[in-house]
Amino acid sequence: MTGFNRELFVNRTILVAGAGKGIGLACAQMAAAHGGNVIAVARTKADLDALAKQYPDNITSWVMDVTSEEFFARVKSLPVLHGLVNNAGLNRIGPMEEQPNENIDAVIDLNIRTLYKISQAAIAPMKRADCAAIVNMSSQMGFVGSPNRTLYCMSKHAVEGVTKAMAVELAEHDIRVNTVAPTFVLTPMTKPMFEDEDFKKFVYDMIPLGRLGKVEDIANSCTFLLSDLASMITGTSIKVDGGWTAR
């Protein structure tokens, strides 16, 4: 029997798009801690330097914008790729009636188009691996709606949909594709939201387990889905939501 061990990703190359902070940082740290050769991508060099200092033998830093053609080309030219975490994403909160084009375009560009483009670029190096896995960072908002979050929900529902479609299309290349769908996790993205006491109460009331997610909770599921322990799992999602969507 095999299970989680520190050598889970030895001789595996895993790229984490959006690896400098928050959930992506935890996913990169966990992949490195399990022996992977991790390509960590973000625009802030200082974040990646700190990560590389933690795992000097395992981290390769790419200081790049993951929405750029230059980045897609670099992914495509990798000799081999075993794992991809499409984690970079953003939110623009507000009533649907008031969302400006700029917000709509920004959310669609990063959360949907970029995820598609990175995955598209990853296919060639993943075909050169014996088997490979993509984890798309979704959200509980990929399953439900929530006030002021219709734009974000639209993008994460799209992530759930494209994940199933990719899983079906890429299965013939032994590329598995799944999502991790977190509830609220305290990260630089969500920190300002929790300064609003009413919002904080709303969130805690919605989570049956009564706490926010921790970045480690999300990284654990991501690690599992990237690994061979999930070798029969594709086209689905692990909701790390403390029960939010079960209500």
The residues assigned a catalytic role are: 152, 156
Kindly indicate which of the ranges 1-9, 164-172, 185-193, 226-234 contains the residues binding ligand NAP, using the contact rule CB under 6 A: 185-193
Q: For residue 56, with 0-12 CB atoms within 10 Å meaning exposed, 13-18 middle and 19 or more buried, which class applies? A: exposed
Exactly one of 8, 20, 29, 51 binds ligand NAP (CB under 6 A); that residue is 20
Q: Can residue 137 be called a binding residue for ligand NAP (CB under 6 A)?
A: yes
Q: Is residue 44 at the binding interface for ligand NAP, with CB under 6 A as the rule? A: yes
Q: Say how far apart CA 60 and CA 179 lie, in whole Å.
A: 24
We find the least distance from the C-beta atom of residue 232 to ligand NAP, in angstroms, to be 25
Contacts with ligand NAP by CB under 6 A: the residue count is 27
Residue 150 in the binding site for ligand NAP (CB under 6 A): no
Of the residues 78, 93, 144, 189, which one makes contact with ligand NAP according to CB under 6 A: 189
Q: Indicate the residue among 70 and 172 with the shorter CB distance to ligand NAP.
A: 70
Structure-block tokens of residue 137:
């960072």
Asked if residue 214 binds ligand NAP (CB under 6 A), the reply is: no
Shortest Å, Cβ 186 to ligand NAP: 7
Residue 99 or 190: the one with the smaller Cβ distance to ligand NAP is 190
Query: Are 56 and 83 within 8 A, CB to CB?
Result: no
- Looking at 5-13, 21-29, 49-57, 126-134, which segment touches ligand NAP (CB under 6 A)? 21-29
Interface with ligand NAP includes 87 (CB under 6 A)? yes
Q: For residue 61, give every residue at least 6 positions away whose Cβ sits within 8 Å of its Cβ, in sequence order, or none.
A: 40, 41, 45, 48, 49, 51, 52
Q: Which residues contact 4 (CB under 8 A, 6 or more apart)?
A: 34, 223, 224, 227, 229
Interatomic CA distance for residues 38 and 61, integer angstroms: 8
242 binds ligand NAP, rule: CB under 6 A: no
**For strand 13-17 and strand 37-42, is the pairing parallel, antiparallel, or unpaired?**
parallel
The token pair at 29 is 């740290």
Instruction: Tell whether residue 146 is a contact of ligand NAP (CB under 6 A).
Output: no
**Residue 31, SS3?**
helix
Q: For residues 33 and 186, which CB has a smaller minimum distance to ligand NAP in the complex?
A: 186
Which element (helix H / strand E) includes 170? Answer: helix 150-170
If one asks whether residue 145 binds ligand NAP (CB under 6 A), the answer comes out as no
Three-class secondary structure of residue 132 per DSSP: strand
Binding ligand NAP (rule: CB under 6 A), the pick from 13, 29, 37, 139 is: 139
Q: Nearest approach, Cβ of 86 to ligand NAP (angstroms)?
A: 8
φ/ψ of 99, rounded to 5, equals -65, 120
